[in-house]
Structure 1
Amino acid sequence: MAEPASPEKKRADSITTASDVKPSSSTVSLPNNGPLAEPRPAPTFTDLLFRRKKLQPPDLDAIATLPSVYDDPVIARHYWPRADYENLHRFEPAARWTYREEKAIVRKIDWRVMLWAAISFSALNLDRNNLSQANTDNFLPDLGLTTDDFNWGNSIFRLAFLCAELPSQLVSKRLGPDRWIPMQMCMWSIVTLGQFWLSGRTSFFLCRAFIPDLILYLSYFYTKNELPLRLAAFWASSNVCSIIGSFIAYGVLHLRGALGRAGWRWLFLVEGLITLCIGVATFFMMPPAPTKTRAWFRPNGWFNEREETIIVSRILRDDPTKGDMHNRQALTLKRLWKAALDYDLYPLYLIGLLFGIPVGPPAQYLTLSLRNLGFGTFQTNLLTIPSTVAGMFTLFGITLLSETLDDRSIVSMAEDIWALPFLIAIFTLPAKPNQWVYYGLASGLVSYPYTHAIQVAWCSRNAGTVSSRTVNV
């Protein structure tokens, strides 16, 4: 008697090859199995500087579909998405689209998906970073805390963040980022609101031990070459949030004395409420997948059938491994262990752990240092804005340079090269420096080119599987 076919054999037998796929007429405006686009080499840095006029943009009506493993029916079988992949019904390897279509769709994703992801991340950081603003309003003296207590609070926060990062990613993979992220935002906003009633050292420490994962979510919509600049915008939104937070602090801290409460208490309350409102809205603004944007409150969805086909097909053609798990599929112990043994990524982990050390303390203690040097509460909050704006430009600049040169390791060193002269200059200052001299040096230091977007996209590119991307990014 013949042995029953294995699940893998059944799956292979059921695969429709690229030449067999016949997309529905309602989604196709171009011939299938037609010519593919020639991969365009990225312009070099010297091209952009000296030969910009010679750089010819692609014909917007030419085919933009790039070659992939799905163009060979034999190879395609080994990379076919799993049967329960949520976007499988829109995956059509034979579909072709133009640069004009692709450009319009990416722009729509930027406005529909990326924009709200940045808003939600900013709202989360509004609460996570408000301690620096509270320090300008006698936060430590009001609670009877010392600078050492403040140091311990920051250490507790970062330790909790480090310990909870992986469990949070695993929960996100099981529930789906579209559910877990707004849940995190709402929980963190409640913690922030609770800081209105801080009474001393113990309650301060408890409120720092909480961890509020959008990178995996964004990878559902963008190719590996599109993700770095979007991540740069993602972290730049945190800078925008810091600027907005400074203006909020400038206004709210004037409430010091209202109802007998310190201004920093009102700051925690107001910013906690803002994050809570955005967290609730995020439940309705984050669809679970490109083909799952329709809901009872959004009956027409964000993309039509043709657009969904292009989004899914271009993502899988760019990285076939993105179809090896369902978006609400939990990681098994085997997958988790395999991802943990991906030793090729270990050097990237080391870079991620060490890259922010030189500039971390001066940035964390900037407002406290400025207050100790004699700047007032409201003046200090406004003085942090110029370096925040400058940081946005250096962030985009370093990420663009990395993509242009197609280099991540050497370009990322620019962060430390930037920081070194400022750190030396600050180290040589006298015990009681001129407040404006220190402000200028510290502002120059914290305007450094933040390379985290490069590093995270680097990890995502090299992860190889969804499970590895869940654990490692």
Structure 2
Amino acid sequence: MDRANIRQAVTDNLLEELGMTTNDYNLGNSIFAFSFLCAEVPSQLVSKWVGPDRWIPTQMVLWSIVASSQYRIASRTSFLVYRSLLGLLQGGFIPDVVLYLSYFYKHHELTVRLGFFWAAIVVADVVAAISAYALIHMRGILGLSGWRWLFLVEGMVTMFLGITSFGMMPAGPTQTSGWLRGKKGWFTPREETIIVNRVIRDDPSKGNMHNREAISFKLLWRSLMDYDLWPIYILGLTNHIPFATPNIYLTLSLKDLGFSTFQTNLLVVPSQLMHVTNMVILTYLGEMLGQLAFVAAIPQVWALPFLIWLRTVDTSAISKWTVWGVMTVFLGNPYSHPIQVGWASRNANTVRSRTVGAAMYNMCVQAGGIIAANIYREDDAPRYVRGNSVLIGIAMLNIALYVLTKLYYVARNRYRERTWNRMTEDDKLDYLAKTHDAGNKRLDFRFAS
């Protein structure tokens, strides 16, 4: 909510009251994304050192202070400073959660749970839109604008949840007792044994590193240079841009069409509900079919006809309700992010690569967010013909990238299969006993594709 409520705030004349333009709004979104990505790897290293059960609640409390303090924004400069601080403190939160969940679930289970996690993020967007309808109505109370109340109240809610999380998040499946979790914890000793054994059998590397063990610079560098994860990082950079740009401008576009501030905040809800439903369906489909690349490419095919429509149709000359309906279906797209985060985690195959890989992937996603925030420009308004042409090109590029990623991992698996099959049984046993290869560099490891 603290990340998304800027879209609701601009519907309550935030830009006008601060003397800002849509280009300033773009710059604020870019600075947020840049600060967010800069904090990704450092946050992951801290999380691995102190434990995500301690670091995640700390992050939430720290950014809630900044989020609620945004009610004091008084100028373009302070707006940009707050966006930067918020990005720095929220950066790393998502890969921290991915690392934390990996302690409890097997690979294929993690992907589905990540789908639930991103579904919760979208639900938060829905709640933000509905709560914004109420909070913006507080305009005038104590002489404050509605958007100031929006930042203040939602930031305080986050602070409450952050403080509660200190007592609700266990360090791991064998350490679930606590002051809010009960003296006996969540699981019996037998259940703890089952959880740990099934997770380690699925990925033995999870038994090689404690969940509060720091990553050395040598291991960090080795993880960064893991070229077998680079194709997924590239997909993270570009895959959401065709949707992110129109979504950033959705509330502003609806206001420009003639909808009121309060109508605008409620009209974004249907697309969010459709989005979360389709995302969960897509995540399950990826696991059912086992074709991660092709399933993750479906949103790009979804985007193309809508982007072509936006590129060719003068939306100011047709019914605003028609435009809203098209945008609702467009932005109700299935989201492949949970698939790709789980894909990167699965293909890392070590805790240290998974820790750094989750951060690197999300850094690429944030870099894509910077690109997305600057495609629609003021001199291209209101139809954004140039911007939509760029988005069409990116969607087509993404389809090609998914095909190339699929071919890369298939080729890598075939090479390893040939090498492995040429070995005698004694050679295989000797390799398994003596090899220094780790994670996805082992000959007996096969990449998910």
Same fold (TM over 0.5): yes
1:427 is matched with 311
2:200 is matched with 316
2:12 is matched with 137
Asked whether the equivalents of residues 167 and 179 of structure 2 are also in contact (C-alpha less than 8 Å), the reply is: no
1:55 is matched with none
Q: Is the partner of 2:242 in helix, strand or coil? A: coil
1:455 is matched with 340
2:175 is matched with 292
- Structure 2 unaligned blocks of 5 or more: 91-95, 359-449
1:21 is matched with none
- Are 1:127 and 2:11 an aligned pair? no
Q: Distance in 2 between matches of 1:131 and 1:255?
A: 17
Tell me the CA shift for residue 162 of structure 1. Answer: 1.3
Tell me the CA shift for residue 432 of structure 1. Answer: 2.2
Per-residue displacement from partner, 1:174-200 (whole Å, max 9, x unpaired)?
111001111111111111111000001
1:346 is matched with 230
Equivalent residue in structure 2 for 1:445, among 320, 330, 335: 330
Q: Distance in 2 between matches of 1:206 and 1:438?
A: 35
Asked whether the equivalents of residues 192 and 272 of structure 1 are also in contact (C-alpha less than 8 Å), the reply is: yes
Structural mapping, 1:228-307, within 5 Å? 228-297=111-180, 298-307=182-191
Instruction: After superposing the two structures, state which structure 1 stretch, 377-386 or 204-213, moved more.
Output: 204-213
Asked whether the equivalents of residues 426 and 442 of structure 1 are also in contact (C-alpha less than 8 Å), the reply is: no
Equivalent residue in structure 2 for 1:384, among 248, 251, 268: 268
Q: Is the partner of 1:432 in helix, strand or coil? A: helix
- Are 1:407 and 2:282 an aligned pair? no
Q: Which amino acid aligns with 1:320?
A: P
1:104 is matched with none
Q: Distance in 2 between matches of 1:269 and 1:296?
A: 29
Q: Distance in 2 between matches of 1:429 and 1:280?
A: 49
Q: Which amino acid aligns with 1:180?
A: W
1:396 is matched with 280
Q: Distance in 2 between matches of 1:364 and 1:310?
A: 45
2:434 is matched with none
Asked whether the equivalents of residues 315 and 323 of structure 2 are also in contact (C-alpha less than 8 Å), the reply is: no
Per-residue displacement from partner, 1:214-252 (whole Å, max 9, x unpaired)?
001000000111111111111011111111111111111
Q: Which amino acid aligns with 1:389?
A: L
Q: Is the partner of 1:144 in helix, strand or coil? A: coil
Structure possessing the higher radius of gyration over alpha carbons = 1
4+ residue runs over 4 A deviation: none
Q: Distance in 2 between matches of 1:407 and 1:286?
A: 33
Q: Which amino acid aligns with 1:252?
A: L
Per-residue displacement from partner, 1:57-95 (whole Å, max 9, x unpaired)?
xxxxxxxxxxxxxxxxxxxxxxxxxxxxxxxxxxxxxxx
Q: Distance in 2 between matches of 1:216 and 1:289?
A: 11
- Structure 1 unaligned blocks of 5 or more: 1-125
Q: Distance in 2 between matches of 1:323 and 1:207?
A: 41
Structural mapping, 1:2-81, within 5 Å? none
Structure with higher helix content: 2
Tell me the CA shift for residue 433 of structure 1. Answer: 3.9
State TM-score, norm by structure 2.
Answer: 0.76
Q: Distance in 2 between matches of 1:290 and 1:429?
A: 54
Equivalent residue in structure 1 for 2:42, among 163, 167, 170: 167
Q: Which amino acid aligns with 1:158?
A: A
Equivalent residue in structure 2 for 1:367, among 247, 251, 273: 251
2:209 is matched with 325
Tell me the CA shift for residue 372 of structure 1. Answer: 1.3
Q: Is the partner of 1:222 in helix, strand or coil? A: coil
Q: Distance in 2 between matches of 1:464 and 1:259?
A: 55
Equivalent residue in structure 2 for 1:178, among 28, 53, 59: 53
Q: Which amino acid aligns with 1:359?
A: F
Asked whether the equivalents of residues 189 and 275 of structure 1 are also in contact (C-alpha less than 8 Å), the reply is: yes
2:352 is matched with 467
Q: Distance in 2 between matches of 1:180 and 1:381?
A: 33
1:18 is matched with none
- Are 1:357 and 2:232 an aligned pair? no
Asked whether the equivalents of residues 387 and 447 of structure 1 are also in contact (C-alpha less than 8 Å), the reply is: yes
1:111 is matched with none
Q: Is the partner of 1:469 in helix, strand or coil? A: helix
Equivalent residue in structure 2 for 1:206, among 78, 81, 88: 81
Kindly tell me: are residues 325 and 433 of structure 1, through their superposed partners in 2, closer, same or farther at Cα, counting changes over 3 Å?
farther
2:31 is matched with 156
Q: Distance in 1 between matches of 2:42 and 2:309?
A: 41
State TM-score, norm by structure 1.
Answer: 0.72
Asked whether the equivalents of residues 336 and 471 of structure 1 are also in contact (C-alpha less than 8 Å), the reply is: yes
Tell me the CA shift for residue 438 of structure 1. Answer: 1.9
1:196 is matched with 71
Q: Distance in 1 between matches of 2:208 and 2:82?
A: 39
Q: Distance in 2 between matches of 1:469 and 1:431?
A: 45
Q: Distance in 2 between matches of 1:180 and 1:145?
A: 35
Q: Is the partner of 1:128 in helix, strand or coil? A: coil
The sequence identity of aligned pairs, in percent, is 52
Aligned length: 348
Asked whether the equivalents of residues 250 and 382 of structure 1 are also in contact (C-alpha less than 8 Å), the reply is: yes
Equivalent residue in structure 2 for 1:220, among 85, 94, 103: 103
Asked whether the equivalents of residues 426 and 441 of structure 1 are also in contact (C-alpha less than 8 Å), the reply is: no
2:409 is matched with none
Tell me the CA shift for residue 296 of structure 1. Answer: 4.6
Q: Distance in 2 between matches of 1:431 and 1:439?
A: 10
**Superposition RMSD in Å:** 1.0
Tell me the CA shift for residue 384 of structure 1. Answer: 0.4
1:40 is matched with none
2:446 is matched with none
Tell me the CA shift for residue 431 of structure 1. Answer: 6.2
Q: Which amino acid aligns with 2:53?
A: D
Tell me the CA shift for residue 444 of structure 1. Answer: 1.5
Q: Which amino acid aligns with 2:83?
A: R
Q: Is the partner of 2:132 in helix, strand or coil? A: helix
